Amino acid sequence: MSLLNRLAAFYVEAKGNKWFRYFAIFCRIGVAMAFIPSGMVKVMGERFTALPSNHPLGHYFDALHLTGYYYTFIGAGQLITAALLLIPRTAVLGALMAFPIMLNISVLVYATRFEGTRIVTLILLANAYLLCWYFDRLRYILPFKTADLGLPAYKTSSNKFPFAFFGLVIAAIAAVIIGNAYLYDIRPGNSAEECTNGCPGNSDPEACQQFCDCIYNQGKPLDTCLKEYENAPRQKK
């Protein structure tokens, strides 16, 4: 049996298992709930975050807030996506709309070293699971041959708890949380106080303080402050 056929057999088995279905519902609600607050704020015309203007991501949100009805348009799109996810018959369309939005947000928060990278990554993974869950409905638009897999009709008949799958889910969550803790040697934090509070544990506290001052007091771009941090003379231990 080829790998593709094995994956198809596993997919059919998963679609007939109530625990996989419950997890899909959980992911739908979770992704939708992530869009509703941010969408409401934008539709109401309020600033999305309390991040200071000198924060790398704060710069972005300030500029976005000043785009007028484009800002409202983004919020409306997020609310529509959330509504589609919450309605079972339109959930597949909601998952399709949500994925590029979440992918864009994920790249943005990693590029700016935002502290919320963990939760954003988990939401993106939940969205990816939904796309896999709706593979039987999406396979016809994929740019490779999947329609001839001959997926048989599946029935919701299995109550067996998939320990291996949920073990992988827990491992993925742990990998995201732990991996993000070691991904960067320095982050700007969400405020000047949060940034400087992390300096005592930094390999070079003085360079860290200068980095925080560069971001929050001088208002320089993140890349500039990172270069200054990397080129700062290190303290001898």
Q: What does the alpha-carbon distance between residue 187 and residue 211 come to, in Å, rounded to a whole number?
A: 9
- pLDDT confidence tier of residue 154, bands split at 50, 70 and 90: low
Q: What does the alpha-carbon distance between residue 187 and residue 154 come to, in Å, rounded to a whole number?
A: 48
Mean pLDDT, to the nearest integer, of 123-150? 83
- Position 237 scores a pLDDT of 44
User: What would the pLDDT profile of 193-226 be if each residue is shown by its tens digit?
Assistant: 999 999 998 989 999 999 999 999 999 999 999 9
Packing angle, helices 18-43 and 163-181, rounded to 10? 40
| Highest-pLDDT range among 4-8, 143-147, 163-167 | 163-167
Question: Does the structure show a pLDDT above 80 at 143?
Answer: no
- Position 13 scores a pLDDT of 87
- Tell me the pLDDT of the chain averaged across its residues: 91
Q: What does the alpha-carbon distance between residue 99 and residue 139 come to, in Å, rounded to a whole number?
A: 16
Cα maximum dimension of the chain: 67
Give the angle 141-79-103 at the CA atoms, nearest 5°.
Answer: 50
- pLDDT confidence tier of residue 145, bands split at 50, 70 and 90: low
Where are the chain's structural domains?
Answer: 3-138+161-181, 192-231
- Reported for 19-26, long-range contacts at CB under 8 A and 24+ positions apart, including other chains, are 19/159, 19/160, 19/161, 19/162, 19/166, 20/133, 20/162, 20/165, 21/156, 23/129, 23/166, 23/169, 24/129, 24/130, 24/133
Mean pLDDT, to the nearest integer, of 99-122? 96
- Position 158 scores a pLDDT of 82
